[in-house]
Amino acid sequence: MSETVIDTSEIEPEKPSLADRAKTELSFFAKLITFLFLFFMLGWGQYKIPSESMQPTLEVGDHLFVAKFAYGYSRHSLPLGMHKLPIAEGKKLFSRLPQRGAVVVFRNPKNDLVMIKRLIGLPGDKIATSGGRLFVNGEMIEREALDAFLYRQHAPRGSRGSVVGVDSYAEQFAGEKKPHIIYEQTDQGQLDDAGPFTVPEGTVFFMGDNRDNSVDSRAPMGPGFVPLDHLIGRADLMLFSLKRCKNEEGLKCPGIRGLKPL
């Protein structure tokens, strides 16, 4: 019995209809949108630094990736203003306590603004500043003098910031992998003698690295004690930075920085 051989080279494949192509495209974009939503809701969020409160660790114009999974999820982890949804306050899934010294993005419980600061106090800690020195549970945190210089403060477009002098110090908490750098304009500033503050359970205490230019948990107008469910994530990776100052003789100016871990 002979078999019929079909020459498939002469058969053209059937072209998908316009409806089929549209369905394929819509399916692709639906999957992409779902992936991006889950990425920014559960994985990482991108944030831009608008102020000098975390200098020199973070400069104005820095763009960061923030690990949202680091401390668990609450309604404040949601992107695109979805934290305003009627979800119970105080609820947090997979909640984990941050490490002292971590740079954390959180929502200010007083005014709903997103902020970024360094975590100084854990639940039960007693925090104080005296003569510009930081005390944690009665022990003064040592600092090593590094440099002294002038820089021009950031100002809105069309205006010129003032020149200030700062001393830079290396400071390190127990458990930190490496020291972090802080700025001090003076040791007799408004917030250089503050506290003691006893951190309540379920909350944490924050300070900026630019100690005399930071509205933080020490300040009456600051966020105060921040509930753990208001933590959004840990600042993990610098994406890029937009240089926001001009080089001037005698003044220090941060350069353009690229991708690097914090």
Name the residue ranges covered by the structural domains of the chain: 45-261
Distance of alpha carbon 209 from alpha carbon 229, whole angstroms: 23
Distance of alpha carbon 232 from alpha carbon 245, whole angstroms: 29
Check residues 91 and 229 and name the one with the higher pLDDT. 229
Q: What is the mean pLDDT of residues 160-183?
A: 93
At residue 39, the pLDDT reads 61
Indicate whether 238 pLDDT > 90. no
Q: What is the mean pLDDT of residues 50-66?
A: 90
Catalytic residues: 53, 117
Instruction: State pLDDT tens for residues 111-162.
Output: 999 999 999 999 999 999 999 999 999 999 999 999 999 999 888 777 788 9
What DSSP letter does each residue of 60-102 carry, written as one string? TTEEEEEEGGGS-B-GGG-STTGGGSSPPTT--BT--PPPTT-
The band of 239, judged by pLDDT with boundaries at 50, 70 and 90, is confident
| 245, 251, 256, 262: CA torsion to nearest 10 | -110
45-261 has which CATH code?
2.10.109.10
Q: Which residue shows structure tokens 């509930």?
A: 227
Instruction: State pLDDT tens for residues 1-48.
Output: 555 555 555 556 677 777 777 777 777 767 666 666 666 666 678 888
At residue 6, the pLDDT reads 53
Indicate whether 227 pLDDT > 90. yes
| Nearest CA-CA partner of 66 in 239, 252, 253 | 239
Tell me the H-state helices in the chain. Answer: 18-38
What tokens does 207 get?
Answer: 């300070």
Distance of alpha carbon 35 from alpha carbon 168, whole angstroms: 42
- Taking the alpha carbons at both ends of the chain, their separation in whole angstroms is 76
